[in-house]
Every structure is written in C-alpha cells, then in structure tokens.
Amino acid sequence: MKSRGTILFSALLVIAAFVAAVRPEPAPPGDKDSVIIQTMMRNLERFHYQPMDIDDDFSARAYDFYLNDIDGARLFFTSEDLGKFGVHKYSIDDQITNGSYEFFDLTQERWKASMVKTQAWYQQILSKPFDVTKGSEIQMRNDDSGWSSNDKELRQYWADYMKRDVINQIVNKQEEYKKDVENRAKMTASERATADKEEPLIEKSVSELEEQAREKLLERYDSWFERMRKAKPSARRSQYLNALTSMFDPHTTYYRPKDKESFDIRFSGRLEGIGATLQNKDQYTKISTLVVGGPAWNSKQLEVDDLIMSVRQKGEDEAVDIKDMLVEDVVGYIRGKKGTTVILKIKKPDGTIKEVSIVRDIIVIDDNYAKSLIIDGVGEDEKVGYINLPSFYADFQNEDGRFSAKDIKAELIKLKDRNVDGVILDLRNNGGGSLRDVIDMSGFFIPQGPIVQVAGRGGRKEILRDKDPSVVWDGPLIVLVNQYSASASEILAAALQDYNRAVIVGSNQTFGKGTVQRFIDMDRTVPGRSEIKPLGTVKLTMQKFYRVNGGATQLRGVVPDIILPDSRAMLETGERQQTGPLPWTEIAAVEYSQDVYQIPFMETLRERSNNRVADNPVFMKIIDNARRFKRQRDRDTYPLSLSAYKAMTQANKKEAAKFKDLFGSDVNFNVANIEVDLEEIKEDEAKIAKNEEFKKGIAKDVYVHEALNIIKDMREME
C-alpha cells in the first residue's frame, strides 16, 4: 500500500528526530527511586507540549489530586491526618528537586496506621447484628466531600457504610428468593418435585440474612485489606508519580516496566504465554478464564478454578513457590517466549494435585480486531456493509502483526466485491490507537490529501497526508460514534466530516482527546547506573491534533452531523471532565478537497432523521432513560432502614422495568457473515457462540437501523 510506506517513512523521520533530541544527561544522584522522580520530571520539562513551572501552585494541585486518588471514598483519613499532611502542600516541588518523597512517605505511614485502625473497626462492627428496622440515612462521600473531623466520626461513617451494604444484600437475597419461587411455580409437577428434592427452597428470616450478609462482607473486606497490604511499594510509588504527571495533562503517565509490557499487549492484541487469565484466591493464584484456542485451553489439562501452587521452567529442577505472591509477579513467571515450556503444579477443585506442562505460544486477542457483516438495507433490495472497529490496533513488533488499516482495507474489499450499496463504519467506544493506521484508513475513502495537522511545542506544525490517489470505497458512508469514541476515532471522523465525505452519526459529541503521546524509555536518558535500571517509561503529551479546517478535536471532540438520543447523553463525560486537560485552540486551515462522493444534502438528511427519531418509540424511551441515568448518577443519599431501602429499590426496579426490553426486538434483518469469514469461525465452538451474539446485538441495534435509513436517504438524493 503506497500510503503506508510513505507515512511510515515520514513517521520514522519524526521518531528519528525525536530520538536524537533525547540525549542522555548525567544521572541525578541518589537511589533508584530518587533517580526515577527526578528523571521523569526532567523529561516532562524538556519534552511536554505545554511544560509548566514546578512551583508552589503545582505542589498544591498535586497534593489535592493525590489525596483524592488514594482516599476518594473518604474511608481512611481524617482532618487530623490532613493537618499533618498540610505542611507538605507547598513543598512537593522542592522534594522533586531533591529527589525525595517526604509527602508520599508520610501518607503511606498514615495509610498503614489507618488500615490497622479501620480493620479493627469493621471487624468489631461486623461482629454484632445491625438493627435494620430503623435508621436515618447515609450520604456517600466522594472526592468533592470533606474528611471526617476525627476518629469517632470516621468510625460512625464506616458503620453506616457497611450497614448500607448489609441492607442491600438482604434486599437482593429476598428478591432472589422471590424469583426462585416464581420460577419453581412455572415448572411441571415432576420438575418441581425433583427441584424441591435436590434444592429445597427455604425462606430465610431477616436476622438469618443479616448474619449471612455480615459474614460475606467481613470476608470481602478482609480480602480487600490483604490485597492492599500485599501491594508492591513500586505500585504505590507509581500511583504517586502519576499524581505528579497528571498535573501536566490526563494522558501523561509513568509506567513501571511491567505496566508498559501490559500496555504493549493491549495495543498489539497479542502476547506470548499460555493463554490464561489469573486472579488471587486466598494464598494462591486461581485460573479465572482460558483464552479459547490458546495453549492452556488446547492442553485440556487446565480448567477454570484450578489453583496454581508453584511454577517451574523446563530444564530447571527448582520450582518457584507462588504462595502469597501477587498476580502480576505470578504472570512474570508464567509468560515466556513461544516454544518454551512452563510446568505448573496445580490443585484441582476436588483437591487433586498434579503437574501440568504447557508449551507457550502466541496468544491472539482477536476480540479487538475489525469484523464485518452484511445487513439488509431499508430500501428495496439494498445490501449494506457493516464494519465494527473496536480500536486502531497495530503490532509494530512483529512482521506478521495485525494492523487495523490493513484489516479494514480487506473488509472493504470483501464488501465491495459483494456489491453492497453503502458502508457503516462503527467507531462507537473506540478509544483510538495508531496514528499511522488512521491516516491510511482515512485515505481509503478519499483521494490523496491532508488528513490531520499535528502541532508540537513552540508551534512546530506537520501536515499528515494520505499520498495514495486510489480509493477503496467510493459509495455512501456512515461513521457511527459516541461519547467514548476518542483520539484516532476523532481524527477519522473529523477528516471525513471536513471533506464532506461521510455522514457522522451519534451522540452529542465524541470524547475530545486531541493530543499525541510518545513513550520515552527513561533508561535511555540516563547514562550508566546499570545497578538501578530499569527505571520505567514515561508517556507524555508532545503534540496536539488539529482538523484540516484548523480546529482542534481537543475538548470539543467531533459534533456529529446527525445527533441521536443516547442513554448517557446527560452524564458528564469526556476529556473536559478529566483533571487538567489542555485547552481547545485552533490554527490555520489547509487546502483540502475531494470529488469521490459529496453530500450537498446534509440538512435534508438531518431533517428526515430527526423526524424519524421523533416518531420512534425506542428513541423516545432512550431519552427518558437518559434522565433516569442522570438521577441515578447524581444520587448520593441512601436510607439505612430495611423498609425504606426496599421501597427505594422497588421504585428503582419498577422504573427500570420500563426500559428492560429497550433493545429487545430485531430491527435489522438478514444480518449475515461474509462467506469467507465463516470458514474460520466454524472451526471453533467458542467463535461460533461469540459470532452469534455479535450478530444478535447488531440485529437489535436501533442506531445501526437509523444508519440504514440514512443510507437509503443518501441513495435517493444522489
């Protein structure tokens, strides 16, 4: 593909210039943690798009952010703690300069003391029954709330906090029993007799349910506190470092080496390992899911709920006992290169203990990849292609890696070969990804031309272009977006909107992330000091995106040409709700044009769609549901008596029932896979099941249905 090679060359030049600029500087003195904080901040000052003074104002904002981050629910600290912390509010900048962590160390000291104190409280509180027949109410706290003035007030908040949880569990159990009785009544006499014998329904009293709820809550809190105690110091320190990076903008982040590895896996959609998801269970690590088709799944020796007791590498005699080890550390022993063997000692749910050998392989997480369908259009004999793109993925580390642009091109060609009358590209909930791929992808719909402008620090500007004159799809095009479509999704939607090439359809506006981040391996910026490496990586904002019309996508996002009702439309979301986002700005427009497909009838399309939406009972219900979501989000006060709480939940359920079957009926018909795709799907039972669920969801999707209506309108007006 011509454009990919050209853009890759351009991107490499940019990266080469950047790498050249990242010249090592003498390492700061001190231990590893001291070097990390000083090197991280030095890199931010050198390379961030909008550097800031590390002064008292910076300190005050970082102070507030960090305390909200570690105790947003206001469960651990009191005003007394805040009094001790306050002496550091304006000195964090000085501590950074010195490579010290006095404020962080003090918060950790008080945090650990508070854990001891609050654990004793909740264990005491949960040792005695709650009187659920009476009670006032609790106002739940968040990072806009103040802290308890003293221990007495904080202990009372804990008591109310857990009483609400216990009451909630009682109400849920009573509802479950009621449903079980109703389901049992629907059985035949024979089925009911068998069920009553195998699992008799016994209605428990409120006191029995209350005791059971307290026991479960105690178990849950003990487990939570145990996980907090086991958290690595590096993870806690990383949280503090990220409070500092957040002062620059929401997307500037410090990554420990393990965190960066996890990011790379999510971005590429592949990893090398056994294909199992793990979680801590008591003292050991439990297998929670198996990746279908992965080595663990294929071995038929591992199952969900197996406990891993130790890990040994083939060729080594000694196994690593993973008792009391955190999942992230266990993963480090189990992951490895393709073709190598790992030996696990596992304990089955029936108590059997055995060793299992598994050969590692490449695990492909294909849920993130593009996939397409063909749907009956609204017009007579219309066929419309539908493409779902969850992210702009790219695997730069592997020659055979998957790239979203390459995959989308293949899907478009398949749809074009089947003579579809229009294409719907679904970018809803797509958080972005590879800039290179979005440039290529935009070029599939227009001849060569600018796609996005990128401006760096000091006003340096670069225009990223599609230089391939060929067009893959030249027909009607709808791009579906919502408030969670971000970054690369916004670049594509904005470019096609500015070129008047596609109709952008969706919620009020997209997310509004219009910034570019790059990774700096901090080891490269510090010469020598091998004894303290690796230091980690910092991802920092270095540039901003601008549309070809000159406006930024930052904060404002992309406003669709046709706005449809959305259940979350009244909730505050997006970049503008983040801490310290960069502002919206604009620069000069560039020349751009295309003659592939023009939409001079946008106002008519909008008017027709608005009329259909106004007459559509499902969309009217979605508007009502948005109001309900808003009320639920804003609610922060709950009753602390069983009767009042039950009345509240019953009222909520009665209201929610109105929206239960909101998307219950099929509105799109003959939703089908392309024949060539079925060959791979049919090889795997799990893929068959996932595919059926995918198609069922699209069949009931009213937003896709309205997109089909718009395509019919477009074809009528051509």
Q: Are 629 and 570 in contact (CB under 8 A)?
A: yes
Q: Is the pLDDT of residue 118 over 80?
A: yes
Query: pLDDT, tens digit, for every residue of 27-73?
Result: 677 899 999 999 999 999 999 999 999 999 999 999 999 999 999 99
pLDDT computed for residue 174 by the predictor: 94
Residue appearing with tokens 């000083």: 38
d(CA 593, CA 536): 44
Q: Is the pLDDT of residue 9 over 60?
A: no
Note whether 270-364 and 367-432+468-514+549-717 share their fold.
Answer: no
pLDDT computed for residue 440 by the predictor: 96
Q: Is the pLDDT of residue 257 over 70?
A: yes
Task: Give me 618's structure tokens.
Answer: 């499902």
E strands of 162-223, at which residues? none
pLDDT computed for residue 388 by the predictor: 97
Question: What does each C-alpha distance from 136 to 157, 643, 645 come to in angstroms?
Answer: 12, 12, 11
Residues 6+ apart with CB under 8 A from 500: 594, 598, 599, 600, 602
Residues 6+ apart with CB under 8 A from 245: 40, 44, 252, 253, 254, 538, 540
d(CA 456, CA 319): 51
Mean local confidence (pLDDT), 85-91:
97
The separation between the first and the last C-alpha atoms of the chain, rounded to the nearest angstrom, is 30
**Third-level CATH fold of 367-432+468-514+549-717:** 2-enoyl-CoA Hydratase; Chain A, domain 1 (3.90.226)
d(CA 565, CA 561): 13
Domain segments of the chain: what residues? 53-247, 270-364, 367-432+468-514+549-717
Identify the residue with better confidence: 197 or 164: 164
Closest listed residue to residue 499, CA positions, set 528, 471, 533, 541: 471
d(CA 618, CA 624): 10
Mean pLDDT score across all residues of the chain: 89
d(CA 718, CA 711): 11
Q: How many CB atoms lie within 10 A of CB 121?
A: 18
Assign 442 a pLDDT band (cuts: 50, 70, 90).
Answer: very high
Identify the residue with better confidence: 6 or 220: 220
Mean local confidence (pLDDT), 313-340:
80
Containing 605, the helix (H) or strand (E) segment is helix 602-614
pLDDT computed for residue 293 by the predictor: 63
Assign 283 a pLDDT band (cuts: 50, 70, 90).
Answer: low
Q: How many CB atoms lie within 10 A of CB 494?
A: 27
Map residue 113 onto helix, strand or coil: helix
378: Cα separation from own chain's centroid: 34
Query: pLDDT, tens digit, for every residue of 354-380?
Result: 888 888 887 666 667 999 999 999 999
Give me the torsion for CA of 675, 679, 682, 688, rounded to 10°: -50
Q: Find out whether the peptide bond into 534 is cis, omega within 30 degrees of 0.
A: yes
Query: pLDDT, tens digit, for every residue of 411-428?
Result: 999 999 999 999 999 999
Mean local confidence (pLDDT), 525-549:
92
Q: Are 694 and 370 in contact (CB under 8 A)?
A: no
Identify the residue with better confidence: 262 or 305: 305
d(CA 511, CA 508): 10
**Third-level CATH fold of 270-364:** Pdz3 Domain (2.30.42)
User: Is the sign of the CA dihedral 451, 455, 456, 459 positive or negative?
Assistant: positive
- One-letter amino acid for residue 606 of the chain: R
Burial of 383 (0-12, 13-18, 19+ CB in 10 A): middle
Identify the residue with better confidence: 223 or 616: 616
Write down the pTM of the prediction. Answer: 0.83
- One-letter amino acid for residue 180 of the chain: D
E strands of 338-393, at which residues? 341-347, 353-359, 361-364, 371-376, 383-388
pLDDT computed for residue 324 by the predictor: 67
Long-range contact pairs involving 232-238 (C-beta distance under 8 Å, separation at least 24): 232/326, 232/328, 236/108, 237/33, 237/36, 237/101, 237/104, 238/536
Closest listed residue to residue 702, CA positions, set 624, 626, 606, 621: 621
Residues 6+ apart with CB under 8 A from 352: none
149: Cα separation from own chain's centroid: 35
Assign 7 a pLDDT band (cuts: 50, 70, 90).
Answer: very low
The torsion angles phi and psi of 597, rounded to 5 degrees, stand at -160, 115
Q: Are 495 and 580 in contact (CB under 8 A)?
A: no
Q: Are 509 and 577 in contact (CB under 8 A)?
A: no
User: Is the sign of the CA dihedral 34, 39, 44, 45 positive or negative?
Assistant: positive
Q: Is the pLDDT of residue 2 over 50?
A: no
d(CA 322, CA 329): 9
Task: Establish how many alpha carbons lie within 13 A of residue 570's alpha carbon, considering only the half-sphere containing its beta carbon.
Answer: 14
d(CA 120, CA 113): 11
Q: Are 648 and 631 in contact (CB under 8 A)?
A: no
d(CA 211, CA 205): 10
Q: Are 308 and 279 in contact (CB under 8 A)?
A: no
Task: Give me 311's structure tokens.
Answer: 């890990």
